[in-house]
């Protein structure tokens, strides 16, 4: 009986892994993420300034810049001081803001039911100028002193800068067999892509402070004015999780003191 029970458990585990139900490791996977922009101005560490259409490889922290003669120059973050871009040209892969937003009215137990998913709303303004700066970063490895140059998007004014890094995450959707069409009553795993924001605080010293828990970590960084900042967010109905709201909060925090203590 015990042997049979162990065999059944092993079979269920194998089936779960095959269906993508293998726990947190299978719940999300980082995808290759590139963004294309119609125009850019790039300031190199050499002091040179270049302009042209730009392709940003976010995972690798590399940009490809198309020159007026149609040649393409490749620059890693170590060669770039900052760059500004506008005119984002989406690759039509329809990224979701989040799971609950994407599923509302767009499918009924079946991803991509009869309508395409809603693209991320904040990307519609192609005239928006976005600024990226290079910081040396430990890649969120708190146990390592090694830092390498990486691109961060600047979302606020200074002297302490709200920074963001975006990554593309593939998430599964497990479908109930009651919605049919999959045969033998077995659920089918399908996937959707989601853009995930990670926030940081760029300090005047050049260091980068990770805001893993934006509210807790930001209030700790500006601990002397934490109560004022929290009250400001409450009075203005600002959250500590949305990029736009968080930028307002950091700008306010900057008005209260010049530099937080990390």
In a domain, 17, yes or no: no
Q: What is the pLDDT of residue 247?
A: 93
Q: In terms of domains, do 239 and 139 share one?
A: no
**81 plus 63 within the same structural domain:** yes
For 162-217, write each residue's pLDDT tens digit.
Answer: 999 998 887 776 655 554 445 555 566 666 677 889 999 999 999 999 999 999 99
In a domain, 115, yes or no: no
Q: What is the DSSP string of 156-222?
A: S-SSSEEEEEEEEEEEEEEPPGGG--SSTT---EEEEEEEEEEEEEE-TTS-EEE-SSHHHHHHHHT
Give the per-residue pLDDT at 170.
75
Is 13 part of a structural domain of the chain? Answer: no
In this prediction, residue 159 carries a pLDDT of 92
pLDDT of residue 165: 94
Is 202 in the same domain as 261?
no
Looking at the fold, whether 75 and 147 belong to one and the same domain comes out as yes
Q: Which pair of tokens denotes residue 174? A: 């497990």
Question: Residue 6 has what pLDDT?
Answer: 41
Nearest to residue 121, comparing CAs of 87, 96, 141, 86?
A: 96
C-alpha span between 177 and 185 (Å, rounded): 5
Nearest CA to 108 out of 176, 20, 189 is that of 176
| Helix or strand holding residue 171 (H, E) | strand 161-174
Residues 224, 133: one domain? Answer: no
In a domain, 239, yes or no: yes
- Examine the domain organization and report whether 146 and 262 are in the same domain: no
Same structural domain for residues 202 and 236?
no
Domain that holds residue 33: 27-101+120-166+197-210
Q: Are residues 61 and 135 in the same domain?
A: yes
pLDDT value of position 76: 96
pLDDT at 32: 82
Rounded average pLDDT per 10-residue block, the chain, 262 residues: 40 35 46 88 95 94 94 96 88 41 35 42 62 92 88 93 89 58 57 83 93 95 94 94 93 79 52
Q: Is residue 21 part of a domain?
A: no
Task: Specify if 107 maps to a domain.
Answer: no
> Both 203 and 224 in a single domain?
no
**Per the structure, how many domains does the chain have?**
2
Q: Are residues 146 and 220 in the same domain?
A: no
Same domain, 153 and 32: yes
Q: Is residue 66 part of a domain?
A: yes
Same domain, 62 and 42: yes
Answer whether residue 111 is part of any domain. Answer: no
CB of 215 closer than 8 Å to CB of 240: yes
Res 112: pLDDT:
38
Q: What is the pLDDT of residue 126?
A: 56
């Amino acid at each position: 009986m015990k042997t049979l029970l162990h065999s059944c458990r092993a079979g269920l585990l194998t089936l779960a892994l095959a269906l993508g139900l293998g726990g947190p490791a299978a719940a999300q996977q980082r995808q290759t993420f590139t963004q294309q922009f119609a125009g850019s101005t790039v300031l190199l560490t050499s002091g040179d300034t270049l302009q042209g259409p730009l392709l940003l490889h976010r995972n690798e922290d590399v940009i490809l810049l198309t020159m007026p003669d149609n040649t393409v120059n490749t620059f890693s973050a170590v060669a770039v001081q900052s760059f500004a871009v506008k005119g984002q040209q989406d690759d039509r892969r329809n990224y979701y803001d989040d799971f609950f937003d994407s599923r509302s009215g767009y499918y009924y137990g079946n991803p991509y039911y009869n309508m395409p998913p809603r693209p991320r709303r904040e990307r519609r303004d192609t005239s928006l100028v976005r600024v990226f700066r290079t910081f040396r970063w430990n890649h969120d490895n708190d146990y390592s002193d090694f830092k390498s140059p990486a691109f961060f998007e600047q979302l606020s004014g200074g002297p302490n800068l709200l920074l963001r890094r975006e990554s593309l995450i593939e998430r599964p959707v497990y479908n109930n067999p009651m919605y049919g069409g999959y045969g033998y009553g077995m659920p089918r795993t399908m996937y959707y892509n989601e853009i995930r924001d990670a926030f940081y605080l760029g300090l005047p010293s050049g260091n980068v402070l990770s805001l893993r828990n934006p509210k807790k970590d930001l209030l700790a960084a500006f601990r002397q004015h934490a109560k004022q900042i929290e009250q400001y967010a409450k009075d203005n109905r600002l959250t500590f999780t949305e990029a736009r709201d968080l930028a307002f909060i950091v700008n306010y925090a900057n008005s209260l003191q010049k530099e937080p203590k990390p």
